[in-house]
Structure 1
Amino acid sequence: MPSPHPNPLVRMVLLGAGWLAIVLGVLGIFLPLLPTTPFLLLAAACFARSSERFYQWLISHPRLGPWFRDYLDGQGIPLKGKVYAIGLMWMSISISCWIVPIFWARMGMLLTAMLVTIWIVRQKTRVIQR
């Protein structure tokens, strides 16, 4: 775990961003267009630089920890999680591109979706033991 940022103002901003990411991640459990895992990873990254106590709480949380603990431990992302993340992302990007009439916004969304898809596919795939 990295050491907390030396600037107290930066630590407070990171702490606030971490809690906002937790809220969005929990909402993502129930709302199909919000991704859970990236928000929880963001929260873990923010807490790692702002509060060791909240970082430890998050990664050991019985409900939230399993969403990303294996990824942080270097075991990878389950294939089902990759398919789910990529599928929902492309569905939401497609709907957004259909709604937003601005060409450059559409191109930005599509480029972002392509880059995130490449990143997800290149991540190690966790083999689930049965």
Structure 2
Amino acid sequence: MPALAESGAEPGAEPATEALLRRGRAARSGWLVLGLSLVAVGFVGIFVPLLPTTDFMLLALPCFARSSPRLEAWLLGHPRFGPGLRAWRETGAVPRHAKIAACIGMTAGYGLFWLHVRPNLGLAVAVAAGMLATAIWILRRPTPEDQE
């Protein structure tokens, strides 16, 4: 507890805050930089086709949980990304529109792969199997309750 007293934390602080205070400053800074970098790449994804914005926000969320409760709360409360992030965190749910977009994107990506790489049969089947397994996993994720 001496480390908490030196940091200026109040004795009744929340357990998550106490855990953050115990974590080293360098580790928290590293998680913060990584989280901000992921949000920045996600922001670029808003303007760049085929760069998934929400995926980077999903990756930034645990970084902020380890570094900044304020930024974690901001991301969870964000009007655009918050509902999807909360649904993923609570139940692993994927919105219906995201499932459709993912399957269409994988199909288009496989088509471009086939057209430009001209893979041999073994590689073509391996890539198709990987994408099909991923599509099945995505489609089997629960849909948020507000979309059912």
Q: TM-score, normalised by structure 1?
A: 0.71
CA spacing shift, 1:113–1:37, aligned 2, 3 Å: farther
Larger radius of gyration: 2
**1:78 and 1:127 in contact (8 A); partners too:** no
Shift of 1:50: 1.6
CA spacing shift, 1:93–1:55, aligned 2, 3 Å: farther
Which of 85, 96, 118 lines up with 2:102 in the alignment? 85
Moved more, 35-44 or 60-69: 60-69
Question: What residue is the counterpart of 1:29 in the other structure?
Answer: 46
Question: What residue is the counterpart of 1:122 in the other structure?
Answer: 140
Shift of 1:117: 2.5
Shift of 1:107: 8.4
Q: TM-score, normalised by structure 2?
A: 0.64
Shift of 1:51: 1.3
Moved more, 23-32 or 86-95: 86-95
| CA RMSD after TM alignment | 3.4
Per-residue CA deviation, residues 44-63 of structure 1 (Å, 9 max, x unaligned), is: 11111121111011111223
Structure 2: distance between partners of 1:14 and 1:95: 36
Structure 1: distance between partners of 2:27 and 2:128: 32
| SS of equivalent to 1:62 | coil
Which of 63, 66, 69 lines up with 2:80 in the alignment? 63
Structure 2: distance between partners of 1:33 and 1:92: 10
Question: What residue is the counterpart of 1:45 in the other structure?
Answer: 62
Paired residues in the alignment total 130
Structure 1: distance between partners of 2:112 and 2:59: 25
Question: What residue is the counterpart of 1:76 in the other structure?
Answer: 93
Structure 2: distance between partners of 1:113 and 1:13: 33
The amino acid that maps onto 2:93 is G
| SS of equivalent to 2:23 | coil
Structure 2: distance between partners of 1:114 and 1:10: 38
Per-residue CA deviation, residues 76-125 of structure 1 (Å, 9 max, x unaligned), is: 2221211112322442354356556898x988866654453243122112
| SS of equivalent to 2:91 | coil
Unaligned residue ranges in structure 1 (runs of 5+):
none
| SS of equivalent to 1:73 | helix
Which structure exhibits the higher relative contact order, with contacts defined as CA atoms closer than 8 Å and separated by 6 or more residues? 1
Structure 2: distance between partners of 1:85 and 1:18: 23
